[in-house]
Structure 1
Amino acid sequence: MGRVSQAQAQENRQRVVATASRMFREKGTAVSVADLMKAAGLTHGGFYKQFASKEDLVDEAVAHAFDDPAAHSAAALEEHEAARRTLIEHYLSVWHRDHAGDGCPVSGFAADLGREPGQAARARHVYNNGVRNLAARLATGDDDGMAQFCTMVGALVLARATRGNPLSEELLQAARTALTESGTGQSEPQQCTD
């Protein structure tokens, strides 16, 4: 078989990064190189022509996920409050729960980056900036949006963990209601009766 052109090699590399970005969000970074390359439609040996290590690919996959406009709601074109509500509704949807590979990189990579404290600085830097940028899209008045975003990510992660049980959709709905009812994501404290 002949050599691959530089253009084809670059296209293959981008395909691997895009596939890895989706698969890592969906299944975690423990996905094998062989499975990843198979999903990308390429040979296992081709990986090492493109990447120095799997860690390098993780870095690129995280960066790709945050650069991918499909990973975020396009609500920023609307007025801020309508955009905020659209983002919340999309983020806390059954579709987003069931399509982790095409969803938010914050929830998709959280567990793996949390388990891998030595993950390369580039992936952590991109991830940290992504968290701040997504939280800022929820900001209202004096609220920087961080607590609201934590609520969304937490609800989504819990909904994914309880998928198949009615509790899953209850979690999504509870978070949507809490974040949209008052318009700021801040509700009155409720007394615990337990």
Structure 2
Amino acid sequence: MRYGKEHKQATRQRIIEAAGRRFKRDGIDGSGISALMKDAGLTNGAFYTHFTSKDDLVATAVADQLRAQNASVVAHAAPGRAGLEQIVRWYLSAQHRDSADDGCPSAALLDEIRRCADSTKQAYTEGVLMVVDGMAARLALDDPLSVRTRALSVYAMMAGTLQLSRALADKRLADELLEQGIHNAFALLGIEREQAGTLA
């Protein structure tokens, strides 16, 4: 039975989304093609209809995850520093920490991405810069490129804070770390504490 182009594209997207969740949950190395295809409700044989290799899927899934993060969080944030505050508070929230499957691929996969093929590193670089550029545009609307590295540094700090918060057994300490991370991000971004709403 032949399926149309739209069906094939929808099936491919289903694999990409299922893979993105599993990679963040079990890691790239810990996720075999069989498990990935089972998550998508498909057989192993269907894999090569859509992807040339696991590396191809990894690069595609990482890029898709970052596009989704940009579309659902960054693109919907308010303009200016108020939007930066929204992004930081979402990123360093207990909800984001506790839902790794649906969260940022940077916090879940950075250590593995550094060992991936160049195609995955390139896809990751392009995706993360899309997110960071959205932050930079809110930090310096007239010249976002001038603050791109600062925005990238804040993003890196937030990803590391989220990773550590997820790893701590002491939930109270993990919560305090997230709150301190918000303070630190605001300081690096030049957001005044009184402007930042409920921070003590």
- TM-score w.r.t. length of structure 2: 0.78
Structure 1 equivalent of residue 66 of structure 2: 66
The answer on 1:184 being equivalent to 2:190 is yes
Structure 2 equivalent of residue 87 of structure 1: 87
Distance 1:154 1:90 in 2: 15
Select the structure that is richer in helix.
Answer: 2
Distance 1:74 1:61 in 2: 19
Q: Decide whether the 8 Å contact of 1:37 with 1:47 is kept in 2.
A: yes
Calculate percent identity across the aligned residue pairs: 31
Distance 2:192 2:70 in 1: 28
Deviations 1:96-136 (A, max 9, x none): 111222112322331211233xx132x21221133333333
The DSSP-based 3-state class of the residue aligned with 1:129 is helix
Aligned residues: 183
RMSD of aligned alpha carbons: 2.7
Q: Decide whether the 8 Å contact of 1:97 with 1:160 is kept in 2.
A: yes
Distance 2:72 2:128 in 1: 12
The answer on 1:102 being equivalent to 2:102 is yes
> Match of 2:105, as an amino acid?
P
TM-aligned CA distance change 1:29 to 1:181, over 3 Å: same
Superposed, 1:17-166 pairs within 5 Å as 17-30=16-29, 31-69=31-69, 72-74=72-74, 76-116=76-116, 119-121=117-119, 123-139=120-136, 140=139, 143=147, 144-162=150-168, 165-166=171-172
List gaps (5 residues or longer) in structure 1: 188-194
TM-aligned CA distance change 1:98 to 1:137, over 3 Å: same
- TM-score w.r.t. length of structure 1: 0.80
Distance 1:19 1:26 in 2: 11
List gaps (5 residues or longer) in structure 2: 141-145, 194-200
